[in-house]
Amino acid sequence: MRSQRISHGLLITTAASAVALLLTACGPSQPQAQGTTDAGTGSASPTPSATAPSTSQPPSSAPATTAGPARCKAATLSAATDATGGGAAGSVYMTLTLTNTGTGPCLLKGYAGVSLAADAKGAPIGAPATRDESTPVTDVLLAPGQGGKAVLRYTQAGNYPDCNVTPAAGYRIYPPEDTASLFLAQPTRACSNAAIELLTIGAFQAS
Q: Are 96 and 129 spatial neighbours (Cβ–Cβ below 8 Å)?
A: no
State the pTM of this model: 0.67
Higher pLDDT, 37 or 30: 30
Q: What percent of the chain has pLDDT over 90?
A: 59
Q: Considering only CA atoms, which of 77, 202, 56 is closest in space to residue 136?
A: 202
pLDDT at 83: 73
DSSP H or E stretch at residue 7: helix 2-25
pLDDT at 19: 42
All domains in the chain, ordered by first residue:
74-206 (2.60.40)
Taking only the tens place, the pLDDT of each residue in 83-132 is 765 666 689 999 999 999 999 999 999 999 999 999 988 889 999 999 99
Can you tell me the distance from the alpha carbon of 205 to that of 95, in angstroms, rounded to the nearest whole number?
Answer: 11
| DSSP code string of 29-62 | PPP---SEE-TTT--EEPPPPPPPPPPPPPPPPP
